Amino acid sequence: MHLEIGPLRVGKPRVGVALGSGSARGWSHIGVLKELEAAGIEIDIVTGTSAGGVIGSFFAADAIEHAEEFAAKYKSPRVTLSYMDFSVGTGGLIGGKRFVGFLEEYLPVRKFSELKRSFGVVATDLSSMQEVHISDGALIPAVRATVAVPGFLSPEVFGDYQLVDGGLLNPVPVSLARKLGADLVIAVDLDAHAVREKAEGVTGIMYRTIDTMMNRIRLENYKSHPPDISIEPVLHDYGFLDFHRSPEAIEEGRRAAREKLPEIKKMLHRPLSRSSRLLFNPGSIPDALRSLSLRQETGSATTGSSKETDKT
């Protein structure tokens, strides 16, 4: 419980988790979240980028077991390929229809307003070259947008917006968690233990190039929006498309979360006695950054500081 008097809020902090990008390594988010739940850590706000947005959507819907069930189906690289609808002329190697089909089958809700926890994802608008936050409207298009790795998965287009992977500008969305009201933010950083390796092949070089840029941006973002605690799974030899290795990624997520539990519990037991508004300064976000609401019935998008009701 907490008491709010004007800008001052006293009592239990709102806890947010910021789930980072990482492709197949994103399975480790399942392990982290399940370990936090098992330890009695109550999560109020969830934000995610790319793979973190996918797993975060299931957790916010109280359906993390659905994501784990789907992960268990990946037994080999051949299964991974079966979920890829290779396409030409769509702006990416993969069209994305099969990914949307997975979300429609396993994710039990369709709108942000139906989720059990506050949730938001980060995407990048190629048209304006700006970061956008989506926490309202249609859920599945938003999740599909945040995973659209340029060149691999075709962009999600809404009106003038051409949305791709949010990891290009905000790989670990701590700032969005603050924006949605989190007092204490636990980051799950899948790139904290990157190793030196030589990229091979055209696709290998392309994705290594993207990872290099994202890594620098991640470190720069931490300077202005540092998390209170960072959980850092170690998955050195886990490849971009190693989705069939979910058991070890989930277990590593559990291990990494357990390692930080004493620190998390210590912080949670400190009474909150500061202005929650001081924890996140909206002025530190560029004016060009927009909050995007996707309206499912028309395929249109609206922007602004206030939420717009999703009509169905």
Pairing of strands 118-125, 45-49: parallel
Segment 183-211, tens digit of pLDDT: 999 999 998 777 667 767 766 677 677 77
Q: How many CB atoms lie within 10 A of CB 98?
A: 12
Q: Is residue 136's pLDDT more than 50?
A: yes
pLDDT digits (tens, 9 = 90+) for 99-122: 888 899 999 999 999 999 999 999
Which pLDDT score, from 0 to 100, does residue 216 have? 80
Q: pTM surpassing 0.85?
A: no
For the chain, what is the mean pLDDT? 81
Is the model more confident about 151 or about 306? 151
**DSSP β-bridge partners for residue 119:** 46
Mean pLDDT calculated for residue range 268-290: 47
Indicate which residue of 44, 125, 136, 165 is catalytic. Answer: 165
CA atoms within 13 A on the CB side of 31: 24
Q: How confident is the model at residue 304 (pLDDT cuts 50, 70, 90)?
A: very low
Q: What is the mean pLDDT of residues 86-92?
A: 71
Q: Which residue has the higher pLDDT, 295 or 269?
A: 269
Q: Is 28 a catalytic residue?
A: no
**What's residue 63's pLDDT?**
97
Strand 290-295 with 300-303, pairing = antiparallel
Is residue 189 within 8 Å of 20, Cβ to Cβ? yes
Active site includes 228?
Answer: no
Q: What is the pLDDT of residue 271?
A: 65
Q: How much is the average pLDDT of 58-73? A: 94
Decide if pLDDT at 230 tops 50.
Answer: yes
Among 255, 306, 287, residue whose Cα is nearest residue 35: 255
Q: 28, 50, 230, 246: which one is catalytic?
A: 50
Model confidence at 283, in pLDDT bands (50, 70, 90)? very low
